[in-house]
Amino acid sequence: MPPLILASTSRYRQELLARLRLPFEAIAPDVDETALPGEAPAALAERLALAKARAVAARFPGAVVIGSDQVADLDGEAIGKPGTHDAAAQQLRRMSGRAAVFQTAVAIVAPGLAAIERAEVRVRLRVLNDAAIEAYLLADQPYDCAGSAKVESLGIALLDAVESDDPTALIGLPLIRTCALLRRAGLEPLA
Protein backbone atom coordinates (compact mmCIF):
# COMPACT_ATOMS: atom_id res chain seq x y z
CA MET A 1 0.00 0.00 0.00
CA PRO A 2 1.44 3.42 -0.90
CA PRO A 3 1.81 5.90 1.96
CA LEU A 4 -1.32 7.94 2.65
CA ILE A 5 -0.75 11.58 3.57
CA LEU A 6 -3.25 14.19 4.69
CA ALA A 7 -2.04 17.60 3.50
CA SER A 8 -3.38 19.39 6.56
CA THR A 9 -2.59 20.32 10.12
CA SER A 10 -6.31 20.57 10.98
CA ARG A 11 -7.11 18.40 13.97
CA TYR A 12 -10.70 18.18 12.70
CA ARG A 13 -9.63 16.70 9.36
CA GLN A 14 -7.21 14.34 11.09
CA GLU A 15 -9.97 13.07 13.40
CA LEU A 16 -12.30 12.55 10.44
CA LEU A 17 -9.74 10.71 8.30
CA ALA A 18 -8.85 8.50 11.28
CA ARG A 19 -12.43 7.15 11.16
CA LEU A 20 -11.49 5.27 7.98
CA ARG A 21 -8.86 3.30 9.93
CA LEU A 22 -6.22 3.68 7.26
CA PRO A 23 -2.72 4.58 8.47
CA PHE A 24 -1.79 8.10 7.42
CA GLU A 25 0.55 10.93 8.20
CA ALA A 26 -0.50 14.58 8.42
CA ILE A 27 1.86 17.11 6.84
CA ALA A 28 1.47 20.88 6.55
CA PRO A 29 0.95 21.85 2.91
CA ASP A 30 2.41 25.39 3.13
CA VAL A 31 -0.03 26.91 0.63
CA ASP A 32 -1.08 30.56 0.43
CA GLU A 33 -4.83 30.52 1.10
CA THR A 34 -5.53 34.04 -0.13
CA ALA A 35 -8.53 34.23 -2.46
CA LEU A 36 -7.91 35.45 -5.99
CA PRO A 37 -9.71 38.66 -7.02
CA GLY A 38 -13.35 37.82 -7.77
CA GLU A 39 -12.91 34.14 -6.91
CA ALA A 40 -16.18 32.46 -5.93
CA PRO A 41 -16.21 30.49 -2.63
CA ALA A 42 -16.71 27.11 -4.35
CA ALA A 43 -13.84 27.78 -6.78
CA LEU A 44 -11.62 28.90 -3.89
CA ALA A 45 -12.30 25.69 -1.93
CA GLU A 46 -11.53 23.53 -4.97
CA ARG A 47 -8.37 25.43 -5.92
CA LEU A 48 -6.99 25.28 -2.38
CA ALA A 49 -7.81 21.60 -1.85
CA LEU A 50 -5.95 20.67 -5.03
CA ALA A 51 -3.06 23.06 -4.30
CA LYS A 52 -2.58 21.55 -0.84
CA ALA A 53 -2.56 17.99 -2.21
CA ARG A 54 -0.16 18.92 -5.02
CA ALA A 55 2.21 20.79 -2.69
CA VAL A 56 2.65 17.78 -0.42
CA ALA A 57 2.65 15.24 -3.29
CA ALA A 58 5.59 17.11 -4.83
CA ARG A 59 7.59 16.39 -1.68
CA PHE A 60 6.45 12.73 -1.42
CA PRO A 61 6.41 11.08 -4.86
CA GLY A 62 4.56 7.77 -4.83
CA ALA A 63 2.27 8.75 -1.97
CA VAL A 64 -1.49 9.17 -2.08
CA VAL A 65 -2.10 12.70 -0.82
CA ILE A 66 -5.42 14.14 0.32
CA GLY A 67 -5.98 17.89 0.34
CA SER A 68 -9.13 19.58 1.58
CA ASP A 69 -10.46 23.06 2.10
CA GLN A 70 -13.68 24.61 3.32
CA VAL A 71 -15.10 28.04 2.60
CA ALA A 72 -18.28 29.39 4.15
CA ASP A 73 -20.37 31.19 1.55
CA LEU A 74 -22.79 33.90 2.64
CA ASP A 75 -24.59 35.33 -0.39
CA GLY A 76 -21.60 34.61 -2.63
CA GLU A 77 -19.06 36.12 -0.22
CA ALA A 78 -16.38 33.93 1.34
CA ILE A 79 -16.52 33.91 5.14
CA GLY A 80 -13.25 32.63 6.56
CA LYS A 81 -11.95 31.58 9.93
CA PRO A 82 -12.54 34.44 12.36
CA GLY A 83 -9.31 34.10 14.37
CA THR A 84 -10.62 36.25 17.24
CA HIS A 85 -13.60 36.44 19.56
CA ASP A 86 -14.77 39.79 18.16
CA ALA A 87 -14.54 38.64 14.55
CA ALA A 88 -16.47 35.45 15.41
CA ALA A 89 -19.22 37.46 17.10
CA GLN A 90 -19.46 39.69 14.03
CA GLN A 91 -19.70 36.67 11.71
CA LEU A 92 -22.46 35.08 13.77
CA ARG A 93 -24.41 38.35 13.90
CA ARG A 94 -24.21 38.58 10.08
CA MET A 95 -25.37 34.99 9.65
CA SER A 96 -28.13 35.16 12.30
CA GLY A 97 -31.47 34.05 10.85
CA ARG A 98 -29.90 33.39 7.44
CA ALA A 99 -28.69 30.51 5.32
CA ALA A 100 -25.05 29.93 4.49
CA VAL A 101 -23.50 27.34 2.21
CA PHE A 102 -20.31 25.60 3.29
CA GLN A 103 -18.25 24.60 0.26
CA THR A 104 -15.95 21.72 1.18
CA ALA A 105 -13.60 20.34 -1.45
CA VAL A 106 -11.41 17.26 -1.23
CA ALA A 107 -8.66 16.38 -3.71
CA ILE A 108 -6.42 13.37 -4.16
CA VAL A 109 -3.08 13.45 -5.90
CA ALA A 110 -1.30 10.14 -6.51
CA PRO A 111 0.88 8.72 -9.28
CA GLY A 112 -1.21 9.05 -12.45
CA LEU A 113 -4.16 10.64 -10.65
CA ALA A 114 -5.30 14.12 -9.69
CA ALA A 115 -8.99 14.31 -8.83
CA ILE A 116 -11.28 16.60 -6.88
CA GLU A 117 -14.79 16.43 -5.44
CA ARG A 118 -16.85 19.09 -3.70
CA ALA A 119 -19.68 18.85 -1.21
CA GLU A 120 -22.10 21.64 -0.41
CA VAL A 121 -23.71 21.91 2.99
CA ARG A 122 -26.58 24.34 3.41
CA VAL A 123 -26.92 25.59 6.98
CA ARG A 124 -29.76 27.71 8.34
CA LEU A 125 -28.89 29.59 11.49
CA ARG A 126 -31.63 30.46 13.90
CA VAL A 127 -32.09 34.08 14.93
CA LEU A 128 -29.35 34.73 17.48
CA ASN A 129 -29.25 37.46 20.09
CA ASP A 130 -26.00 38.85 21.47
CA ALA A 131 -26.33 36.88 24.72
CA ALA A 132 -26.61 33.55 22.84
CA ILE A 133 -23.68 34.44 20.60
CA GLU A 134 -21.52 35.39 23.58
CA ALA A 135 -22.46 32.25 25.55
CA TYR A 136 -21.67 30.06 22.56
CA LEU A 137 -18.34 31.70 21.77
CA LEU A 138 -17.16 31.49 25.37
CA ALA A 139 -18.11 27.81 25.54
CA ASP A 140 -16.77 26.55 22.18
CA GLN A 141 -14.18 29.15 21.11
CA PRO A 142 -14.57 28.30 17.38
CA TYR A 143 -12.03 30.84 16.22
CA ASP A 144 -10.32 28.36 13.88
CA CYS A 145 -13.57 27.34 12.14
CA ALA A 146 -14.98 28.85 8.96
CA GLY A 147 -18.26 30.52 9.87
CA SER A 148 -17.48 30.58 13.62
CA ALA A 149 -19.38 27.44 14.62
CA LYS A 150 -18.52 23.85 15.49
CA VAL A 151 -21.52 21.76 14.44
CA GLU A 152 -19.92 18.70 16.05
CA SER A 153 -20.08 20.47 19.40
CA LEU A 154 -22.32 23.13 20.99
CA GLY A 155 -22.54 24.95 17.66
CA ILE A 156 -25.41 22.64 16.73
CA ALA A 157 -27.55 24.78 19.08
CA LEU A 158 -27.08 27.75 16.73
CA LEU A 159 -28.80 25.99 13.84
CA ASP A 160 -32.31 25.44 12.54
CA ALA A 161 -31.28 22.99 9.80
CA VAL A 162 -28.39 21.31 7.97
CA GLU A 163 -28.81 19.90 4.47
CA SER A 164 -26.10 17.75 2.87
CA ASP A 165 -25.51 14.45 1.12
CA ASP A 166 -22.12 14.05 2.83
CA PRO A 167 -22.58 14.68 6.58
CA THR A 168 -18.93 15.12 7.57
CA ALA A 169 -18.40 17.83 4.96
CA LEU A 170 -19.51 20.48 7.44
CA ILE A 171 -16.74 19.46 9.84
CA GLY A 172 -14.14 19.84 7.10
CA LEU A 173 -13.63 16.56 5.20
CA PRO A 174 -16.45 14.96 3.18
CA LEU A 175 -15.77 11.31 3.97
CA ILE A 176 -18.19 9.82 1.42
CA ARG A 177 -16.37 11.66 -1.36
CA THR A 178 -12.99 10.94 0.26
CA CYS A 179 -13.73 7.20 0.21
CA ALA A 180 -14.67 7.40 -3.48
CA LEU A 181 -11.43 9.22 -4.28
CA LEU A 182 -9.38 6.75 -2.22
CA ARG A 183 -10.88 3.88 -4.21
CA ARG A 184 -9.88 5.64 -7.45
CA ALA A 185 -6.33 5.80 -6.06
CA GLY A 186 -6.41 2.06 -5.29
CA LEU A 187 -6.99 2.31 -1.53
CA GLU A 188 -10.09 0.54 -0.21
CA PRO A 189 -11.07 1.54 3.35
CA LEU A 190 -12.93 -1.76 3.82
CA ALA A 191 -10.10 -4.02 2.58
Residues in CB range of 10: below 8 A, 6 or more apart: 68, 172
165 noted as active-site residue: no
* CA dihedral sign, ordered 124, 134, 80, 32: negative
Which among 69, 73, 140, 166 is annotated as catalytic?
A: 69
Contact, 115 vs 187, CB < 8 A?
A: no
Q: Distance between CA atoms of 117 and 45, rounded to whole angstroms? A: 10
Instruction: Give me the helix-helix angle, 130-140 and 85-95, nearest 10°.
Output: 130
Q: Show which residues are catalytic.
A: 69
